[in-house]
Structure 1
Amino acid sequence: MSRSAEARMQMINGQIRTNDVFDQRILDAIAAVPRETFVPESVTHLAYSDACVPLGGGRVLLDPRTFAKLLQLANLERTDLVLDIAPGTGYSSAVLGQLCDAVVSVEEDPDLVKSAERNLGSIDVTGTVKCVQARHADGHPGDGPYDVIFVNGAITEPPEAWAQQLKSGGKLLAVVNHGPTGRARLFVKDGTSLMGRDAFDATLPLLPGFQRPQRFAF
């Protein structure tokens, strides 16, 4: 077993299984993707840590616990069409591509889009991953509607565009921050509305553009 594969197994056994993620498909998908490929060289030593890995510009690679628990919450099917929002350097899209036949990866930072395309091209991914540069809040209606929308970062509330791009009964997974703390939430589309429920505690940096407007008292 290579050092990379050994590090992945240690991460899975020490950080993911211990947080009640037991879906073998998810564990196998995470084991198949070398996480260090998707982090900047200056922080490769953090690739398998239990914290978010900084990607620059306020963006992060999700910590293993939060990422795996969101994947399990999604209850993905092989035939699902997934919209992966804010994948950064492409790690989430790589893992989702091991689990589902088709992933549309929407990233608004042009440099990160290039990194994601390069990184995804360097490994074997079972499904098809399409990288698109677009505003996160806009999603990508051209390839929808989607079975699942997966969000890599915290938001304050889901944009209307995301709800419109989900199939009826489709699922949206995101961490929703309220002040300094957050909760992972599962939203399910019912008619034209999203019905959400809290799933577990999780706090991530807010994605750029999702900050609540400041209110001033007079």
Structure 2
Amino acid sequence: MTDFAELRTTMVDTQVRPSDVTKYTVIEALLEVPREAFVPTGQRAAAYADTCVSLDSGRVVLDARTFAKMLDALDIQNEELVLDIGTGLGYSSAVIACMAEAVIAVEDDESRASEAQTTLSEQGADNAIVHTGALAEGAAEHGPYDVILLQGGVEELPATILVQLKEGGRIGALFVEGALGVVRIGYKIDGQVNWSFAFNANAPVLPGFEKQRAFEL
């Protein structure tokens, strides 16, 4: 029988800690949340591998290193409201729920959203709510947000997302630029988001965040 608790500890010790993730709240949350409960049943054995976990429709659960480093850079506080875009089956929101006052998760697939909400409730993440709708629309009715986090790649970030970020808030996004992916943290100051480099990573682009290609004859 698979010892998922041991695998979870190994994931943190071999994938997360060596990647300069030092914040206690991030480490504690990753050790607490059972990643295997938030992936498709057939993928549970691979839940703690050092890679993204495939869902469907090209969607993934971000690898632990990338996700943890984003959380470390965003430094979520326990009084903050977080928007988690592309939660999939809810893993990212469960982890964030351990750190924030509340998290609003956005998922565009009704079946995934329903499963995510059920699993979050079963795991005791009562401060996480799953909103069903287009990922690129966010969830303005619950905002504005102290922190926004995207669970996948971005080529272009719609203004509809940035306006949901509070003044002084932070946003973490993985920008896919050709073969290279770059995670940047944005800080909203005087209504404008100023970006700073965090680290390199890669992930599939989220639906609605693709760059609009110009039509060519």
Q: 2:96 matched to which residue of 1?
A: 96
Q: TM-score, normalised by structure 2?
A: 0.96
The corresponding residue for 1:183 is: 182
Contact 1:155 1:207 in 2 (8 A): yes
In structure 2, the partner of 1:46 is: 46
What is the rounded CA distance, in whole Å, between the counterparts of 1:11 and 1:47 in structure 2? 10
The residue that corresponds to 1:3 in the other structure is 3
Q: How many residues get paired? A: 216
Partner of 1:140: 139
Q: What residue in structure 1 maps to residue 212 of structure 2?
A: 213
Deviation of 1:124 after TM superposition, in Å, equals: 2.4
The whole-number CA distance in structure 1 between the counterparts of 2:210 and 2:149 is 19
SS in 2 for 1:211: coil
Structure 1 outlier segments of 4+, above 2 Å:
213-218
Question: Which structure 1 segments of 5+ residues have no match?
Answer: none
What is the match of residue 194 of structure 2? 195
CA distance in 2, matches of 1:141, 1:211: 21
Q: What TM-score, normalized to structure 1?
A: 0.95
How many percent of aligned residue pairs carry the same amino acid? 38
Describe the SS at the equivalent of 1:7: helix
CA distance in structure 2 between the partners assigned to 1:124 and 1:130 by the alignment: 12
User: Residue 27 of structure 1 corresponds to which residue in structure 2?
Assistant: 27
Q: What secondary structure sits across from 2:209 in the alignment? A: coil
Residues 61-70 or 115-124, more deviating:
115-124
Does 2:87 match 1:59? no
| Contact 1:163 1:192 survives alignment (8 Å) | no
- Which structure 2 segments of 5+ residues have no match? none
Whole-Å separation in 2 of the counterparts to 1:158 and 1:148: 15
Q: Structure 1, residues 46-95: CA drift from partner, whole Å, max 9, x if none?
A: 10000000001100000000000000010111001001101000000000
C-alpha deviations, 1:75-128, integer Å up to 9, x for none?
Answer: 111001001101000000000000011111111111110110121122123x61
For 2:155 and 2:51, the matched residues in 1 are separated by 21
Q: 1:79 to 1:180 in 2, by over 3 A?
A: same
Does the 8 Å contact 1:105/1:131 carry over to 2?
yes
CA RMSD of aligned residues (A): 1.4
